């Protein structure tokens, strides 16, 4: 029997593989409360939720406070879009 290992958000390994995050202030940006924002919460990083993403309709209908509570996530900052 083979062992399956999931490697992605919200698990800490995905955040720690790219750079040395020790003693740095990190802002995790994403549109998914259950993965992007929850991952930031697990590592005690600040989070920025892109509100026009995965949860757009939920936020529009119920407000961010109710939706983030439903997903057991803490959102530090929110903006509608992210543009480079």
Higher confidence at residue 20 or residue 83? Answer: 83
Of the two residues 84 and 71, the one the predictor is more confident about is: 71
CA proximity to 55, closest of 44, 43, 39, 71: 71
Q: Is the pTM of this model over 0.75?
A: yes
CA-to-CA separations, 47 to 1, 16, 73, in angstroms, rounded? 38, 16, 10
In angstroms, rounded to a whole number, what is the distance separating the alpha carbons of residues 81 and 3? Answer: 38
Q: What pLDDT is attached to residue 34?
A: 94
* Residue-level pLDDT at 77: 98
Answer yes or no: are the C-beta atoms of 37 and 77 closer than 8 Å: no
Per-residue pLDDT tens for 29-82?
A: 999 999 999 999 998 899 999 999 999 999 999 999 999 999 999 999 999 999
Whole-number pLDDT of residue 40: 92
Q: How far apart are CA 14 and CA 40, in angstroms?
A: 11
């Amino acid at each position: 029997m083979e062992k399956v290992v999931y490697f992605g958000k919200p698990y800490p390994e995905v955040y720690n593989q790219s750079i040395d995050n020790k003693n740095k202030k990190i802002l995790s940006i994403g549109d998914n409360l259950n993965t992007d924002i929850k991952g930031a919460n697990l590592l005690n990083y600040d989070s920025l939720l892109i509100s026009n993403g995965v949860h757009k309709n939920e936020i529009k209908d119920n407000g961010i406070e109710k939706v983030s509570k439903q997903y057991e996530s803490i959102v530090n900052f929110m903006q509608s879009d992210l543009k480079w």
